Amino acid sequence: MKQRKKVIAVCGAQVYEEKEFSFISRLNRTCREKGYAVIIFNLSTDPLKHDDEIMNEKSLVEMIPKFPIDALIILGETIKAPRMRELIKSSAEDMNIPIFAMDRHIDGCINIESNFGDSFGNMVRHIIDIHGCRKVNMIAGIKGNDFSDERIEAYKKVLSEHGIPFEEERLAYGDFWDRPAREATERFLASGDIPEAIVCANDTMAIAACAVLKEAGLRVPEDVIVSGFDGIMSGKLNFPPISTVAPDYESEVNTILELLDRMDAGNVRDTEITRCIDYTIKPNRSCGCGATDDNSTLELINRHSFALKDQKWQVSAMNSMMLSASEKQHLQELTPLLEYSVEMWNKNFYFIAVSSELMSQHDDAGNGFVPLMRMEHGVSLKEAGQFDGSVAIPDFDRLLFEDESYNLFMLRLLFTDSEIYGYLMEGYDEIDMRSMRYP
């Protein structure tokens, strides 16, 4: 008899961003190997909006219990509103399932935390021990920020371990961003005391520091070593590629799945568990380590070139679709257009539902939903019609059996600034950053 896949849900905002995508991509690969499926509840939360506006998206969170979910992961750092994080946690608690919180401590959850300080210290230690630097300057993030202060303390600790006194003038703040980091590097150079190395609290600032050093006629790493933190793509594409400290997504995912296995076996009962995961030091050419050929960089550039071409084509296709849609009189008339547009991209699973109140032919609209489109493996399936809010996707369980190709699903709201009018779910086998950004 076929077995339904276990399901791990991930709730976060703007999960197509690089760090979040990298975690989800690793989670999906490992879950596929271990017989799990993944459902992403992708909030479009803008951290600059007011708390009340952010809470308009609570209808997406309220859909969590409508799916057969065995565990939930909250990407806490992406969700800035405490009320939203608590709402997500409450929804999962009602389902009596394990809740994991990533990168932001949430009481009552199993917290998977990154060991930022010690990991940053390992890079400082590498620069002193391996490269023999004694004059090591630091560009920190925002003054008073916990993440920045933790890295400053690690920097001071490693200096002390090596008998190097901390000098206040060797510390500057770059606010985790390009322009302030450039200004900090310029101040270091203007002092006349050129450092042997500059350790930066993130890769963005390291890239800026490299640019200023090169503009001043200094070579990286021959004259000044530069390091960063975070392991972002732009650091890998920098010339020279940035020596960095990167998240260990594999260890994070393995820790979550190992804990779930132990819970299934009855070996873990306490929900107040915290696991700290070290970042991984990745020396590269900006400190004088790393490969001397550029094959890996060229491969990344080639991938980005393809993505840019695909993005250009997508914008053109979307413009054509919007022009055609503007001529339609009723929502039902959009279905053939949507099916054609979706088929141009791939053979993923698609399900679009809109509020029955928007479908003018339904006089007894009520509070239900009407399917606008459903596609599986490139084939359009006709749905029965209006359904109530007790289910999110009719016949969804069928997609979770082991012989189905869809392994990762993403649910998003369809909304304007003033109104939420439906939702979209897409299902994938493999995922890349471009496909996660498709509408």
Is 375 among the domain residues? no
Which pLDDT score, from 0 to 100, does residue 120 have?
97
pLDDT score at 172: 98
Identify whether residues 86 and 223 lie together within a single domain: no
Same domain, 128 and 226: yes
**Does any domain span residue 331?**
no
pLDDT score at 119: 96
Q: Are the C-beta atoms of residues 95 and 64 closer than 8 Å to each other?
A: yes
* SS3 labels along the chain: CCCECEEEEEEEECCCCHHHHHHHHHHHHHHHHHCEEEEEEEECCCCCCCHHHHHHHHHHHCCHHHCCCCEEEEEHHHCCCHHHHHHHHHHHHHCCCCEEEECCCCCCCEEEEEEHHHHHHHHHHHHHHCCCCCCEEEEECCCCCHHHHHHHHHHHHHHHHCCCCCCHHHEEECCCCHHHHHHHHHHHHHCCCCCCEEEECCHHHHHHHHHHHHHCCCCCCCCCEEECCCCCHHHHHCCCCCEEEECCHHHHHHHHHHHHHHHHCCCCCCCCCEEEEECEEECCCCCCCCCCCCHHHHHHHHHHHHHHHHHHHHHHHHHHHHHHHCCCCCHHHHHHHHHHHHHHHCCCEEEEEEEHHHCCCCCCCCCCEEEEEEEECCEECCCCCCECCCCCCCCCHHHHECCCCCCEEEEEEEECCCCEEEEEEEEECCCCHHHHHCC
Residues of the chain with pLDDT under 50: 325, 362-363
Furthest CA-CA distance within the chain: 80
Q: Which amino acid is at 139?
A: I
pLDDT confidence of residue 384: 62
Q: How many domains does the chain have?
A: 2
- pLDDT, residue 378, reads 73
For 341-379, the pLDDT digits (tens) are 555 556 688 898 888 776 555 445 556 888 888 888 877
Amino acid code (one letter) for 390 = S
Residue 349 inside a domain? The answer is: no
In a domain, 101, yes or no: yes
Assess whether 253 and 243 both reside in one domain: no
CATH number of the domain where residue 264 is located: 3.40.50.2300
Judge if 163 and 287 occupy the same domain.
Answer: yes
Structural tokens at position 171: 């510390």
End-to-end CA distance of the chain: 37
Q: Are residues 206 and 255 in the same domain?
A: no
The residue type of 407 is N
Q: Are residues 75 and 173 in the same domain?
A: no
Q: Flag whether 307 is in a domain.
A: no
- Cα(54)–Cα(60) distance, integer angstroms: 11
Sheet holding 6-13, edge to edge: 274-278, 110-115, 99-102, 71-75, 6-13, 36-43, 408-415, 420-428, 349-355, 369-376, 379-380
Residue with tokens 């820790």: 255
Give yes or no: residues 135 and 207 share one domain.
yes
Structure token digits, residue 423 = 């939702």
Q: Which of 211, 204, 212, 199 is nearest to 233 (CA)?
A: 204
Q: Is residue 127 a part of any domain in this protein? A: yes
Q: Are residues 135 and 188 in the same domain?
A: yes
CA 171/CA 184 separation, integer angstroms: 9
d(CA 33, CA 26): 11
| Shared-domain flag, residues 57 and 101 | yes
Residue 384 · residue 353 · CB < 8 Å: no
- The pLDDT of residue 308 is 62
- 393 within some domain: no
Cβ neighbours of residue 356 closer than 8 Å, sequence gap 6 or more: 362, 365, 366, 367, 368, 369, 370, 386
Phi then psi for 102, rounded to 5 degrees? -105, 130
Nearest to 41, CA basis, from 22, 18, 67, 17 = 67
Q: Say if residue 165 is in the same domain as residue 71.
A: no
> Domain limits at 192?
116-247+282-291
Does any domain span residue 427? no
pLDDT at 435: 62
pTM: 0.84
pLDDT at 437: 58
Residues 109 and 214 in one domain: no
Residues forming a β-bridge with 387: 369
